[in-house]
Amino acid sequence: MRSELNGIFVLNKPAGMTSARALEQVKRLLKASKAGHAGTLDPFATGVLVCCLGKATRLSRFLLQGEKSYEGVMQLGLETDTQDATGRVLREVPVAGLTREQVETAFERFKGTIEQKPPLYSALKHKGVPLYKWARQGKPVQKPARRVQIMDIRVLAVDFPRIHFRVTCSAGTYVRALCADIGQVLGCGGILQSLCRTVSSGFSIYEAIGLEQLKAELAEGPEAVPIVDMADALRGMPKAIADSRLAGMISNGRQLTVADFTGKTIAGAIDVKYKSYLAIVDSNRRLLAVVKSENAAGRYDYCCVFHS
């Protein structure tokens, strides 16, 4: 096992487990000094949970901004207090007569920038207390609607009353709320029956490993466990390779300017939300720092610095 584990582990979270509990198991199994995740999944949901280990916990602020993709099943004709299959049924409505075309038209209405009310049962806080705790006490709190972005949403299959779908959306989007709103448009209500996150901050379900597989790989040899280096974790962020002079400036906390990166930037696909950032790596591809251009003067401010 590495003497100090710093990097990203992509977990395929199982159903029936909170994200916090899943992260704790990853931390224990990999013997990481500290750990954090980049985006909560509901306990009933499965799929990509990006686990930041060791020094990589300082990268979670960037990874939390990343877009997400999901595949799920929506059940029409039901409304619950949690907007999913785990909640108390509030209303049941027959769905006879609905067509696939009507369903697809309703889904299409939610593509683009939309206003979404967070669920009453969510981890958002009111007066320092999660909303789900207020709701469980019979004192539900409705947070104001907020703007989220639905980049793509489509129906994959229809087996009334179940609708199989795929959605790509901005961070902070509640797929449960999306299903409830689509159900309202269709006039029969709807809940999220099952959900799998397939992409999170550039990490795919095809990279993800389940807890049982992780245990099996650790039994064969700790080095077999795939850990994404910190330098490779910020997918879509421009990178610059530091020579010894630039590395020394970073080590001493010196002011950096655009001129310091002339000829050092690595070309590649850039995510628009990262366009003002730079991840600086050394010749051995170790992450030295993340900086951000804050003004027109060509200066960069330090977001985080990693000392060896």
pLDDT of residue 269: 59
pLDDT of residue 59: 95
Average pLDDT over residues 22-49: 94
DSSP track, 122-180: SS-EETTEEHHHHHHTT----PPPEEEEEEEEEEEEEETTEEEEEEEE-TT--HHHHHH
| Global pTM value | 0.91
In a domain, 93, yes or no: yes
Q: Which residue has the tokens 């049982």?
A: 212
- Supply the CATH number for residue 26's domain: 3.30.2350.10
In a domain, 61, yes or no: yes
Residue 302 bridge partners (DSSP): 291
Query: What is the residue range of 92's domain?
Result: 68-192
Same domain, 114 and 220: no
Same domain, 206 and 59: yes
Taking 90 as the threshold, does the pLDDT of residue 112 lie above it? Answer: yes
Average pLDDT over residues 13-33: 95
In a domain, 87, yes or no: yes
In a domain, 1, yes or no: no
Same domain, 61 and 207: yes
Task: Considering the candidates 42, 84, 181, 260, report the single residue annotated as catalytic.
Answer: 42
Taking 50 as the threshold, does the pLDDT of residue 1 lie above it? Answer: no
In a domain, 19, yes or no: yes
Say how far apart CA 271 and CA 154 lie, in whole Å. 23
The domain total for the chain is: 3
Residue 270 binned pLDDT confidence (cut-offs 50, 70, 90):
low
- Supply the CATH number for residue 243's domain: 2.30.130.10
Residue 87 binned pLDDT confidence (cut-offs 50, 70, 90):
very high
Taking 60 as the threshold, does the pLDDT of residue 2 lie above it? Answer: no
Residue that is last in its domain, among 192, 217, 249: 192
Same domain, 160 and 222: no
Same domain, 163 and 58: no
Question: Over the chain, what is the mean pLDDT?
Answer: 89
Same domain, 36 and 97: no
Q: At what angle do helices 100-108 and 175-186 cross, to 10 degrees?
A: 130
In a domain, 197, yes or no: no
Residue 44 binned pLDDT confidence (cut-offs 50, 70, 90):
very high
C-alpha dist (Å) from residue 4 to 1, 9, 26, 303, 308: 8, 14, 15, 22, 11
Same domain, 177 and 73: yes
Q: Are 235 and 38 in contact (CB under 8 A)?
A: no
pLDDT of residue 136: 82
Same domain, 50 and 110: no
Residue that is last in its domain, among 184, 216, 231: 231
pLDDT of residue 264: 67
pLDDT digits (tens, 9 = 90+) for 200-242: 989 999 999 999 999 999 988 778 889 999 999 998 888 888 8
Same domain, 73 and 18: no
Same domain, 124 and 212: no
Q: Are 146 and 114 in contact (CB under 8 A)?
A: no
Tokens matching residue 282 = 């050394």
42 is annotated as an active-site residue: yes
Taking 80 as the threshold, does the pLDDT of residue 121 lie above it? Answer: no
Q: Are 73 and 193 in contact (CB under 8 A)?
A: yes
Q: Higher model confidence: residue 270 or residue 128?
A: 128
In a domain, 2, yes or no: no
Say how far apart CA 107 and CA 109 lie, in whole Å. 5
pLDDT of residue 206: 96
Taking 70 as the threshold, does the pLDDT of residue 266 lie above it? Answer: no
Taking 90 as the threshold, does the pLDDT of residue 134 lie above it? Answer: no
pLDDT of residue 3: 59
Taking 90 as the threshold, does the pLDDT of residue 65 lie above it? Answer: no
